[in-house]
Structures are given as structure tokens and as C-alpha cells.
């Protein structure tokens, strides 16, 4: 059997909807982060996805306890994380992707609400 065991956590509730494009960007960011876990973390990596609604917007975090930065060297020079950051920046958001203290890798994405 293949797949990825995920500990999913959600905090808070949205105070309003994100624009459709920002929702798609959040989906694609999560998809890319989970794809990186599958490709680089190793078969026994524990993965946590946290989706948090804050007063200012959506905070999405994907972290694993896998092989970490050494396995990410090729991905870091590729387009996945860079493309994610470019898409999120279109909505004034930010992406942080880095090795975790103690092992593994983490991706944190924040997409703010668009203020009218």
C-alpha cells in the first residue's frame, strides 16, 4: 500500500472567504508541500498539516520528521518551492521553507485576507 499518513489539525474559523484565486493558491501550496514530503522525506516520515484561520488570514503549515534538508537539495534548486512562493506573493502572502530543528522539513504559508 502506498500513501502518506497525515496528522491533520485545523484551528479557528474563517472570518470571511478568501478570493477564489487565493483559495486555489492555498490548495496548490499544500499539494506541493505534500508532494515534497512524498519525494524527499522517506517512507516512514510522520507528517503534520496544520490549517489555521487567524484574524489576518490563513496560516498553512506542512511539516515532516523525514530525511530533511539533505534530501531537499535538488528540490530547492527546482521550481516547486520557488513557484509556490511566487503564487503566494501574488496575494501579498509569504512562504517559509526550511529544515526543522531536530530533523525533517517544514513549509509555512500565510495568505492574508484581501481588505476592501
pLDDT at res. 110: 98
pLDDT at res. 43: 82
Question: What are the pLDDT tens digits along the chain (116 aa)?
Answer: 467 889 999 999 999 999 999 999 999 999 999 999 988 888 888 999 999 999 999 999 999 999 865 544 444 455 788 999 999 999 999 999 999 888 899 999 999 998 65
CA 34 to chain CA centroid, Å, is 7
pLDDT at res. 103: 87
CA distance 32 to 14: 23
Helix 69-76 to helix 80-89 angle, to the nearest 10 degrees?
70
Amino acid at each position: 500500500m502506498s500513501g502518506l499518513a497525515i496528522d491533520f489539525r485545523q484551528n479557528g474559523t474563517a472570518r470571511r472567504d478568501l478570493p477564489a484565486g487565493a483559495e486555489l493558491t492555498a490548495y496548490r501550496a499544500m499539494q506541493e508541500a505534500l508532494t515534497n514530503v512524498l519525494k524527499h522525506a522517506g517512507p516512514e516520515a510522520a507528517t503534520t498539516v496544520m490549517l489555521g484561520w487567524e484574524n489576518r488570514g490563513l496560516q498553512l503549515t506542512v511539516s515532516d520528521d523525514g530525511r530533511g534538508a539533505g534530501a531537499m537539495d535538488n528540490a530547492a534548486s527546482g521550481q516547486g518551492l520557488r513557484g509556490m512562493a511566487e503564487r503566494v506573493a501574488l496575494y501579498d502572502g509569504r512562504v517559509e521553507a526550511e529544515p526543522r530543528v531536530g530533523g525533517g522539513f517544514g513549509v509555512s504559508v500565510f495568505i492574508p485576507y484581501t481588505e476592501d
